[in-house]
Amino acid sequence: MEIQSCVTILNEWDIVAARQLGRNVAKELGFGTVDQARITTAISELARNIYLYAGQGQLCIERLHEQSKTGLRIIALDKGPGIADIRKVMEDGFSTSGGLGAGLPGVRRLMDDFKIDSNPGEGTDIRAIKWLR
C-alpha cells in the first residue's frame, strides 16, 4: 500500500514546503526526532538540487507499509539536464566542487536505501527510503 503526496519545486520556498510535508509524514509514521531531522535534511538536499540545477521538478513523499516494515520514501523527479557520470556524483568530495548533484552521497548515508537513475537531457529520478526501526 502506498500513499503519495507531492510538492512542485520551483523556488526556494518550495524546499520548505517539501520539508514540511516530509516532516509531517515522518512524525505520523512514528519516526523519532533524530530521524525526522535526517529525513528533512535529505529532502532539503534533493529539493535544493532540483531548484539549483534542474530549475523545476517534483518532490514526493510515500508512506510504505510492507509486511512487518513501515517506512518513508522520498522521490525527487526532474526533467533537467540530467547527470552524465552518476558514479562521479556519487563520489565523496564531489559536492565540495559545487557541481551537479551536490551532496548525493550524504543523502545516501542518511537514508537506508538509495536509487538514482539519470540520463543526460532527460532528467533525474532519485528514490530514497528510510525504514522505521
Q: Is 92 in the site for other proteins (CB under 8 A)?
A: yes
The smaller minimum CB distance to other proteins, of residues 17 and 37, is found at 37
Stretch that binds other proteins, among 5-13, 53-61, 105-113, 114-122 (CB under 8 A): 105-113
The smaller minimum CB distance to other proteins, of residues 38 and 130, is found at 38
* End-to-end alpha carbon distance in the chain: 19
Which distant-in-sequence residues (6+ apart) come within 8 Å of 8 by Cβ? 14, 56, 57, 58
Spatial CA neighbour of 78 closest among 51, 99, 98: 51
The smaller minimum CB distance to other proteins, of residues 44 and 56, is found at 44
Q: Nearest distance from residue 91's CB to other proteins, in Å?
A: 8
The smaller minimum CB distance to other proteins, of residues 114 and 123, is found at 114
6, 8, 63, 105: which one binds other proteins (CB under 8 A): 105
- Cell readout for 40 is 528533512
Compute the distance between CA of residue 75 and CA of residue 126 in angstroms, rounded to an integer: 6
Looking at residue 32, what DSSP letter applies? -
Q: Which amino acid is residue 55, in one-letter code?
A: G
Q: Is 99 in the site for other proteins (CB under 8 A)?
A: no
6, 16, 17, 37: which one binds other proteins (CB under 8 A): 37
For 69-91, the DSSP string reads EEEEEEEEEE-SS--S-HHHHTS
The residue ranges that bind other proteins (CB under 8 A) are 32-34, 37-38, 40-41, 92-93, 95, 103, 105-106, 109-110
